[in-house]
Amino acid sequence: MDTAEKIISSDLATRYIGVRKRTEQICSPLQTEDYVVQPVVDVSPPKWHIGHTTWFFETFILKPYFMGYREYNPDYNYVFNSYYETVGNRVIRTDRGNLSRPTVMEIYRYREYVDEAMLKFLHESIGDEIKELLILGLNHEEQHQELLYTDIKYILGHNPLFPAYSKDYVSPKVNWVENEKFISVKEDIYEIGFAGDGFCFDNELNRHKVYLQAYEISPNQVTNAEYLNFMNAGGYHDFRHWHAEGWDWVKNNKIESPMYWHLIDGEWYQYSYHGLGLLNPKEPVCHISYFEAYAYAAWKALRLPTEFEWEAAANQFSWGKNWEWTESSYLPYPGFVKAPGAIGEYNGKFMVNQKVLRGASEVTPPGHSRVTYRNFFQTHLRWQFTGIRLAK
């Protein structure tokens, strides 16, 4: 291994350690019990995230490429596989919160074991293919860091005692544009998708041309105060603003407000990482479904931007507080191809019946997102930090 290679490996090792430690720091305020529960199917127990991100490196790097590596425990493949059919059977998703074993401590031991092996492995020469897998694994773990934050919020925020996550948690400031005026973007052909040398997910490719009609887009996200106007105007009780499917969702689930909002003695409270507190009307509204974002826009006689409109204008406004629902369905870009093998299951197989979100949220790891980044969720989900930017 020559010097240049050594430096690269050493850089990767440093980055590996950094990402792995950050995951553990996110969990440091938790009680053992908080690691275990799964109050709703979309929320995984934190201990599962701790194990699954470890399993990812063991399964896709150590087992195939690190000669002499001894698998920590063959049963863990069954426990920590998320959705990779290629890699075998697994605990059904709704059962993740039913498993008391392995314990949190056992999973941290597993994590230590894999980390040690990984660091040994990273001191050897590694090829480009493996480096790519490693970087994918780190980005994968960063995605789980965001999920950890939102899953923890759900677990604590749906507990009748409303415990705080940590009084030290600092919520980022929002960069508001005063005297809001919509940004005008002219009709033209725009280049959409990732370009450059760094890492991107396969769903950001290929970069390709899109023809956009002239449009305007807001420099700010919709605020809690603005959203309250919608609520006070009867927005949740007027079918005309809603998709038929959204209206069914509102009625079947008796939805009356964003997630984490509580009306107590006539005042609106909101659960945050600091516990239950008065709603701040100046903050951007979040924890709303696509259905609600759409209905709000319809009530304003405006609309959500497409993901292409968002990307083409993203340099002209500030983003990163809440993921923003777009009108675009999550579909492959022209020329998209799934990778062969298990890694090919990463993104492609979810490209149906989901909506694209753009931007990032306050719990996205720093540097993880970018202008071309595509997040995606089903239209009824609300436990992510999801917000609204309007277009017309």
CA-nearest of 332, 310, 330 to 319 is 310
Backbone angles phi, psi at 50, to 5 degrees: -60, -40
- By C-alpha distance, which of 220, 174, 166, 148 is closest to 389? 220
Give the sign of the dihedral formed by CA 279, CA 282, CA 286, CA 289. positive
Which of 10, 98, 171, 316 lies at the binding interface for a copy of itself (CB under 8 A)?
98
The answer to the question of residue 37 lying near a copy of itself (CB under 8 A) is yes
Distance separating alpha carbons of residues 309 and 187, to the nearest angstrom: 11
* E strands, the chain, in order: 183-185, 188-192, 208-212, 215-217, 261-264, 267-272, 275-278, 323-329, 355-358, 375-377, 386-387
Q: Among 131-139, 142-150, 313-321, 345-353, which window interacts with a copy of itself (CB under 8 A)?
A: 345-353
Binding span for a copy of itself by CB under 8 A among 99-107, 169-177, 216-224, 381-389: 99-107
Measured from the CB atom, the residue of 136 and 156 that comes closer to a copy of itself is 156
Q: Does 92 participate in binding a copy of itself (rule CB under 8 A)?
A: no
Of 290 and 323, the one with the shorter C-beta distance to a copy of itself is 290
Choose, by CB under 8 A, the member of 36, 87, 136, 205 that binds a copy of itself: 36
Q: Which of 99, 135, 231, 339 binds a copy of itself (CB under 8 A)?
A: 99
Distance CA 62, CA 56 (A): 9
Contact (CB, 8 A) for 288 and 259 = yes
Q: Name which of 359, 364, 390 is nearest 150 in CA terms.
A: 364
By CB under 8 A, the residues from 149 to 208 that bind a copy of itself are 155-156, 158-161, 163, 189, 208
Q: Are strands 261-264 and 188-192 parallel, antiparallel or unpaired?
A: unpaired
Nearer to a copy of itself, 234 or 334 (CB): 334
Residue (86 or 175) nearer to a copy of itself, CB: 86
Residues in contact with a copy of itself by CB under 8 A are 31-40, 47, 75, 78-79, 83, 85-86, 91, 95, 97-104, 155-156, 158-161, 163, 189, 208-211, 213, 239-240, 242-247, 290-291, 294, 303, 327-329, 331-332, 334-335, 344, 349-353, 379
